[in-house]
Amino acid sequence: MPVPDGPSTGRLLLAATPIGDPDDASARLRRWLAEADVVAAEDTRRLRRLTGALGVDVRGRVVAHHEHNETGGSGGSSSALLAEVQAGRTVLVVTDAGMPTVSDPGYRAVVAAVEAGLPVTVLPGPSAVLAALAVSGLPTDRFAFDGFLPRRRGERERALAGLVAEQRTVVLFEAPHRLAEMLDHAAEVLGATRRAAVCRELTKTYEEVRRGTLAELAAWAGAATVLGEVTVVLAGAVVEAAEPADLVAEVTAREAAGLRLKDAVAEVASLRGVRKNALYDAVLAARRG
Cα 269 versus chain centre, distance:
28
What is the rounded distance in angstroms from the CA atom of residue 133 to the CA atom of residue 170? 9
Burial of 6 (0-12, 13-18, 19+ CB in 10 A): exposed
pLDDT band for position 289 (cuts 50, 70, 90): confident
Give the contacts of 204 (CB within 8 A, at least 6 positions apart).
Answer: 20, 21, 228
Q: Could you read off the pLDDT of 219-248 as tens digits, one per residue? A: 999 999 999 999 999 999 987 767 899 899
- Element holding 124 (H helix, E strand): none
What is the rounded distance in angstroms from the CA atom of residue 275 to the CA atom of residue 41? 51
pLDDT at 7 over 60: no
CB contact at 8 A, 100 and 14: yes
Burial of 271 (0-12, 13-18, 19+ CB in 10 A): middle
pLDDT band for position 2 (cuts 50, 70, 90): very low
Q: Could you read off the pLDDT of 166-205 as tens digits, one per residue? A: 999 999 999 999 999 999 999 999 999 999 999 999 999 9
Vertex 216: Cα angle to 213 and 221 (nearest 5): 120
Give the contacts of 128 (CB within 8 A, at least 6 positions apart).
Answer: 19, 97, 98, 173, 199, 202, 229, 231
Q: Could you read off the pLDDT of 42-100 as tens digits, one per residue? A: 999 999 999 999 999 999 999 999 877 877 555 578 899 999 999 999 999 999 999 99
In order, the DSSP letters of 141-167 are SSEEEEEEPPSSHHHHHHHHHTTTT--
Q: What is the pLDDT of residue 250?
A: 86
3-state class (DSSP) for residue 204: coil
Task: Calculate mean pLDDT across residues 131-153.
Answer: 96
